[in-house]
């Protein structure tokens, strides 16, 4: 540790200082909600390895999980004008997320009521949805417009021929959909996430980066690669000098919301014995994509005497962000400027809290293949205090065999993702040949265990 403080040991955690100990040294007051939250005992039972590749298990997920949950489909800024639409697809279902003439957002099923052809296959803007097969047409609010051979459809006389709809609700500039018309409201689902993120005003952010890439592993294995921090020891060794990983904080805030916090500007417990100086920590951060994303000035590496590396990095981030967007960050805590503050919304979304440019992850099955997934990476920036709202970045789709480095807009993050993806195809292969079980840590991997427990509950035979 760069300040020489004595760790507060806990018998059920890594024997080093806790994340809360680090927060106690922050240079600014820390919001209470960042402190340790609920840590229920949810058991230590293993998970069958076949849950990651079994066609039967995947079929149950497709039939009983994805049609019944809230999932993020797009940003409101992706469909700003009347007639703008975005296609969202999951396990064979296709929805048209459209801005109607009244400004309302709807999610229409992307299927002609005549012979079932998809009405649209590319995102865009239209004043109607006309089937390319036979010309049957619907208005953009889903109401029926025209049947070119109406005389031959007596069975449709006096019937409501509107396109079926999924439920739509919004939060923080995101559009969420749910195919279960009887599902609980979105705010009941996201609860503490919305409460904690009110401080960061996600609706007043814009999408500066959006990269999508298929990966050769099950969607759950893909999500799990971003649900604990201690894999950095062998997967991301370059970040050990400045990221507290094994002593990260994990919480289960509600049935559907969990989180993990990893402090930046302090070394990993795995390398405490190296006794890095504050300047060495800052120099290591200078080569980090995360530090650059938070406004770290790479040329400034000498930390003045009496200042910790963490406080120094946080102040650099405040100065850089204020210069970029015109907002005042003088009251923001060190944690909110430099830490990895990941909130997960079950089962397939992650939103980074804080004031710095926020990363958003989304993981989904790749079509109907149980052994392939898709990962979305978005970066949200605050709309400048003085000036117009920037347009959202277009989606950059990478091929399944393309490296993340082809998405230059990710900067150094691409290298981090490449390290993560280097594991995942071999995880998928190993799941077929191992003991038949997967085991998770009681505390540091409880979020992953909770992911599986909830999936099991949704797909259980009834």
User: pLDDT averaged over consecutive 10-residue blocks of the chain (462 residues)?
Assistant: 44 81 96 94 96 98 98 98 98 98 98 98 98 98 97 96 98 98 96 97 97 98 97 95 95 97 96 91 77 51 89 96 97 98 98 97 98 98 95 97 96 94 96 94 96 97 66
Residue 5 lies in a domain: no
The pLDDT value given to residue 3: 42
Query: Does the pTM of the predicted model rise above 0.85?
Result: yes
Which residues have CB under 8 Å from 90's CB, separation 6+? 66, 71, 364, 365
Residue 429 lies in a domain: yes
Residue 76 lies in a domain: yes
Say whether both 233 and 100 belong to one domain: no
CB 364 within 8 A of CB 348: yes
Say whether both 26 and 77 belong to one domain: no
| Dihedral of the alpha carbons of 306, 312, 314, 317, in degrees to the nearest 10 | 160
Say whether both 124 and 272 belong to one domain: no
Say whether both 128 and 243 belong to one domain: no
Q: What pairs with residue 87 in β-bridges? A: 96
Cis, peptide link before residue 158, omega less than 30° from 0: no
The pLDDT value given to residue 387: 85
CB 439 within 8 A of CB 445: no
Say whether both 285 and 433 belong to one domain: yes
Say whether both 339 and 417 belong to one domain: yes
Give the end of a domain, one of 126, 153, 182: 182
Say whether both 250 and 293 belong to one domain: yes
The pLDDT value given to residue 302: 80
Residue 60 lies in a domain: no
For the residues of 230-247, what is the DSSP string, one character each?
A: TTHHHH-GGGTTTEEEEE
The pLDDT value given to residue 301: 62
Say whether both 131 and 267 belong to one domain: no
Give the end of a domain, one of 153, 182, 211: 182
Closest Cα to residue 367, out of 178, 214, 223? Answer: 214
Say whether both 96 and 143 belong to one domain: yes
Residue 9 lies in a domain: no
The pLDDT value given to residue 359: 98
Instruction: Please work out, in degrees rounded to the nearest 5, the angle formed at the alpha carbon of residue 217 by the alpha carbons of 293 and 172.
Output: 40
Burial class (CB in 10 A: 0-12, 13-18, 19+), 138: buried
The pLDDT value given to residue 178: 98
Full domain range(s) for residue 170 = 71-182
Say whether both 150 and 285 belong to one domain: no
DSSP conformational letter for 111: S
- φ/ψ bin of 301: left (φ > 0), alpha (ψ from -120 to 50), beta (otherwise): alpha
Count of CB atoms situated within 10 Å of the CB of 280 = 18
The pLDDT value given to residue 457: 97
**3-class SS string, 402-433:** CCHHHCHHHCCHHHHHHHHHHHHHHHHHHHHH
Give the end of a domain, one of 182, 215, 237: 182
Residue 57 lies in a domain: no
Instruction: Please work out, in degrees rounded to the nearest 5, the angle formed at the alpha carbon of residue 442 by the alpha carbons of 441 and 446.
Output: 85
Residue 65 lies in a domain: no
Distance between CA atoms of residues 38 and 56, nearest Å? 34
The pLDDT value given to residue 14: 79
CATH number at residue 168: 2.102.10.10
* Domains identified in the chain, total number: 2
Residue 396 lies in a domain: yes
Say whether both 147 and 231 belong to one domain: no
CATH number at residue 312: 3.90.380
Tokens of 128: 């109607």
Distance between CA atoms of residues 355 and 294, nearest Å? 9
Say whether both 142 and 109 belong to one domain: yes
Q: At what angle do helices 278-286 and 309-325 cross, to 10 degrees?
A: 40
């Amino acid at each position: 540790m760069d300040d020489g403080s004595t760790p507060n040991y806990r018998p059920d955690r890594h024997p080093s200082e806790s994340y809360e100990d680090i927060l106690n040294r922050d240079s600014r007051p820390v919001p209470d909600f960042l402190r340790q939250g609920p840590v229920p005992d949810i058991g230590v039972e293993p998970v069958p390895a076949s849950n990651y590749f079994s066609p039967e298990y995947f079929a149950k997920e497709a039939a009983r999980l994805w049609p019944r949950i809230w999932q993020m489909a797009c940003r409101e800024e992706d469909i700003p004008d009347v007639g703008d639409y975005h296609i969202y697809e999951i396990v064979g279902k296709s929805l048209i997320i459209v801005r109607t003439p009244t400004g309302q957002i709807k999610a229409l099923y992307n299927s002609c009521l005549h012979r079932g052809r998809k009405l649209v296959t590319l995102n865009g803007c239209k004043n109607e949805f006309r089937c390319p097969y036979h010309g049957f047409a619907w208005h953009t609010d889903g109401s029926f417009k025209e049947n070119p051979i109406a005389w031959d459809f007596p069975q449709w006389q006096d019937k409501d021929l509107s396109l079926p709809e999924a439920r739509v609700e919004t939060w923080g500039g995101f559009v969420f959909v749910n195919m279960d018309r009887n599902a609980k409201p979105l705010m009941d689902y996201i609860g503490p996430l919305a409460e904690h993120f009110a401080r960061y005003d996600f609706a007043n952010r814009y999408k500066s980066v959006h990269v999508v890439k298929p990966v050769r592993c099950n969607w759950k294995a893909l999500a799990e690669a971003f649900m604990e921090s201690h894999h950095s020891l062998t997967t991301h060794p370059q970040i050990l000098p400045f990221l507290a990983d094994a002593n990260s904080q994990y919480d289960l805030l509600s049935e559907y919301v969990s989180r993990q916090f990893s402090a930046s500007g302090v070394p990993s417990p795995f390398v405490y014995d190296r006794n890095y100086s504050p300047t060495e920590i800052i120099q290591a951060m200078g080569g980090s994509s995360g530090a650059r994303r938070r406004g770290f000035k790479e040329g400034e590496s000498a930390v003045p005497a009496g200042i910790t590396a963490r406080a120094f990095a946080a102040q650099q981030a405040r100065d850089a962000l204020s210069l970029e967007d015109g907002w005042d960050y003088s009251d923001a805590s060190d944690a909110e400027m430099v830490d990895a503050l990941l909130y997960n919304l079950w089962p397939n979304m992650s939103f980074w809290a804080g004031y710095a440019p926020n990363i958003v992850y989304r993981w989904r099955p790749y079509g109907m293949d149980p052994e392939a997934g898709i990962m979305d990476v978005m970066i949200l920036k605050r709309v400048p205090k003085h000036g117009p709202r920037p347009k959202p970045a277009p989606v950059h789709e990478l091929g399944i065999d393309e490296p993340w480095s082809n998405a230059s807009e990710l900067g150094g993050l691409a290298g981090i993702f490449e390290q993560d993806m280097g594991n995942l195809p071999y995880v998928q292969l190993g799941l077929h040949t191992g003991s038949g079980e997967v085991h998770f840590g009681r505390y540091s991997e409880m979020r992953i265990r909770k992911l599986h427990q909830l999936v099991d509950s949704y797909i259980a035979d009834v």
